[in-house]
Amino acid sequence: MVAAGSKGLGRAIATALVREGARVSFCARTREALVETEAALRAAGGDVLATQADVSRADDLTRWHAATVEQLGVPLLVVTNTGGPPTGQLEELDEEAWTGAVQSTLLNVVRLCRLTLPAMRAARYGRIVHLTSFVAKRPMPLLTISSTLRAGLSALTATLAEQVAADGITVNAVLPGHFLTDRQIHLNELRAKQHGTTRSEWEQRVQAEIPARRFGRPEELADAVAFLLSERASYITGTSIAIDGGLLRSTF
């Protein structure tokens, strides 16, 4: 199961899993993108299920999970993912923005894990990967909500991993750096406006700060996620792994 799998990094992950031979169930809010991605994955030979669902809604997640079990079988590989929450500094963000973000960025992960863990425990096998952000370790002023909730997801990753490791289940998080997805383009436009420059000039400035001197390609992150979901990653759990071209420069 790949949440928010019709665009950007989610779609790249779904594509990588199809290439690896997995049956892939993915969801998205927008039907047009959902249908287009489903057609592309089927053309690549994938056995896929596309479900229109909003991951911030508990009933949508339950419906998506039930459809997956019915049509593809019990899911033992799960990727949690969602679009980024509202941007802004603390005083610009009202309680509604925070409440909505908790539903779409944190509780959706909790709910999807609760839906899928019982079958993983019964099978004594499972893989969960949370797609979060490098701001979990490097908070950004414009990303107040995201920085807060992504750090929480790293904590959830570590605590849940300890709870289920003896059942053969691994839980990890990947922290993407700068990838030119729709979300990244939107953030680049906001930051360029704040600094009185063009998006192109801002993107050149951002890339100059990355040791790799470029934005990441979605497939580079997707291949890492596919590995974490594989049997080869059976002794990796409880980690939050930055995939960022060296941006974090962190020792822990």
Q: What is the pLDDT of residues 135-171, one digit of tens each?
A: 999 999 889 999 999 999 999 999 999 999 999 999 9
47 with 166, same domain?
yes
Residue with tokens 């899928």: 116
Residue 97 lies in a domain: yes
Q: pTM of the prediction?
A: 0.94
130 with 80, same domain?
yes
Answer whether residue 120 shows pLDDT above 80: yes
Residue 251 lies in a domain: no
77 with 189, same domain?
no
pLDDT recorded at residue 250:
78
126 with 220, same domain?
yes
Residue 75 lies in a domain: yes
Percentage of the chain modeled with pLDDT above 90: 90
What total of structural domains would you count in the chain?
A: 2
Joined together, the tokens standing for residue 67 give 């459809």
Closest to 56 measured CA to CA, from 48, 64, 46: 64
Give the helix/strand (H/E) hosting 51.
Answer: strand 48-52
What number of CA atoms fall less than 13 Å from residue 56's CA on the CB side? 13
Which residues on neighbouring strands pair with residue 50, listed in sequence order? 26
95 with 220, same domain?
yes
Residue with tokens 């610009």: 92
239 with 200, same domain?
no
Q: What is the residue range of 200's domain? A: 182-215
Q: How many angstroms separate the CA atoms of 143 and 56, rounded?
A: 19
Answer whether residue 252 shows pLDDT above 80: no
115 with 53, same domain?
yes
Q: How many angstroms separate the CA atoms of 28 and 53, rounded?
A: 5
Joined together, the tokens standing for residue 25 give 């169930």
CA geometry: angle 232, 236, 239, nearest 5 deg: 145
95 with 35, same domain?
yes
78 with 92, same domain?
yes
Segment 88-116 mean pLDDT: 96
User: Helix H segments across the chain?
Assistant: 8-19, 31-43, 58-71, 95-101, 108-123, 144-164, 182-194, 199-209, 218-228
Residue 221 lies in a domain: yes
Residue 250 lies in a domain: no
100 with 225, same domain?
yes
Q: How many angstroms separate the CA atoms of 224 and 232, rounded?
A: 12
59 with 157, same domain?
yes
Q: What's the CATH code of the domain at 140? A: 3.40.50.720
pLDDT recorded at residue 160:
98
Question: What DSSP string describes 131-190?
Answer: E--GGGTS--TTBHHHHHHHHHHHHHHHHHHHHHGGGTEEEEEEEE--B-SHHHHHHHHH
Segment 49-53 mean pLDDT: 98
* Contact (Cβ atoms closer than 8 angstroms) between residue 145 and residue 93: yes
237 with 129, same domain?
yes
